[in-house]
Amino acid sequence: MKIVVDPHGTINFIYDDALLFLRNIGEMSTRRAGFVEPDEQGNWKADLSPSGGPLLGGFTTRSEALAAEVAWLNWRYGYVS
Q: What is the largest CA-CA distance in the chain?
A: 45
Rounded mean pLDDT, 21-37? 87
pLDDT digits (tens, 9 = 90+) for 36-79: 999 999 999 999 999 999 999 999 999 999 999 999 998 888 77
Residue 21 lies in a domain: yes
Residue 81 lies in a domain: no
- For residue 80, name the pLDDT band (cuts at 50, 70, 90): low
Q: What is the pTM of this model?
A: 0.79
Residue 61 lies in a domain: yes
Q: Count how many domains the chain has.
A: 1
Contact yes or no for 55/68 (Cβ under 8 A): no
Residues spanned by the domain of 8: 3-76
Residue 27 lies in a domain: yes
